[in-house]
Amino acid sequence: MKILAFFGGARKHRNTMSMLNYLLDNLEGEKEIINCYDLSVSPCIDSRYCYKHRACIIKDGMTEIYKKIDEADIIIFASPIYFFGVPGPMKVMIDRFQMYWAGIKRGDKPENYAKLGAYLMSGGGPSFKTQFTGGGLELSEALKVTNTKKVGQVLMDDADIVKDLDQRPEIKEKIDELALLLSVRK
């Protein structure tokens, strides 16, 4: 089983990465983490090339990412929330998922989900109703457009106050439950 995780945080050793590592430690298979801050990916230029071709007109780091997504069995997004959305480097990459969406126009978009997926998000502030709404919508749609069935998510609020995942047993429990959902094959 191939597990592809996208990490969207600027800080590589904080709560979002701790959540991701904890989840990956509870999954069996070949695992790869792509750090969106390390990518060489240009923004979508809306050329509409992908409306007729299962590719992007821009030839950059996304070419390899498309291949990895296509080969993955499980896709995971792990991101902090920056002003109600995912950070810029992750957003730039997700915008390039237009190539998958354009499968509707090309007539080659699969009808059934082929992969399982989930997302993890951390927010610095105390819990409030819409804290994860924007980022959650974006990551849910990113999973859907890549032919990935979302089986769950784990949201960690108050991440700026509580610095360590080990101090949040309720979050670890939710990640354990998510790992079980991701481990169930169709």
Sign of the alpha-carbon torsion through 58, 72, 90, 11: negative
Interior CA angle at 35 toward 131 and 172, to 5°?
A: 50
pTM: 0.93
Indicate the CATH number for domain 2-183.
Answer: 3.40.50.360
Q: For 94, which DSSP code?
A: H
Q: What is the mean pLDDT of each run of 10 residues along the chain (186 residues)?
A: 94 88 96 96 96 96 96 96 90 97 92 91 82 90 96 89 82 96 80
The phi and psi torsions of 151 (rounded to 5 degrees) equal -100, -10
Q: Which two tokens stand for residue 162?
A: 């509580």
DSSP E strand stretches across the chain: 2-7, 30-35, 74-80, 115-122, 148-156
Q: Please give the pLDDT value at position 186.
A: 52
Listed by start position, the domains of the chain span 2-183
